[in-house]
Amino acid sequence: MDQFIYLRGMFGADSRIELASAAVLLWRLHVELRQGAEFPERVEHRASQIGGALLFVLAAYVVVSAAYSLWMREDQEFSTPGLALALLAIPVMWLLARTKMRLADELGSRALRADAVESVTCGYLSGIVVIGLLVQFLVPGWWWIDSATSLAIVVLLVKEGREASEGGESV
C-alpha angle 155/132/52, rounded to 5°? Answer: 25
| pLDDT of 45 above 50 | yes
Tens of pLDDT, residues 61-98: 989 988 988 898 877 666 788 788 889 999 999 999 99
Average pLDDT of the chain is: 82
CA neighbor of 118 nearest in space, from 15, 18, 51: 18
C-alpha angle 78/79/80, rounded to 5°? Answer: 130
Domain ranges within the chain, ordered by starting residue: 2-166
| pLDDT of 11 above 60 | no
Pick the CATH number of 2-166 from 2.60.120, 1.20.1510, 1.10.287, 3.30.499: 1.20.1510
> How distant is the alpha carbon of residue 99 from its chain centre?
16
Task: Quote the CA–CA distance of 70 and 67 in Å, as a whole number.
Answer: 5
Contact 129, 76 (CB under 8 A): yes
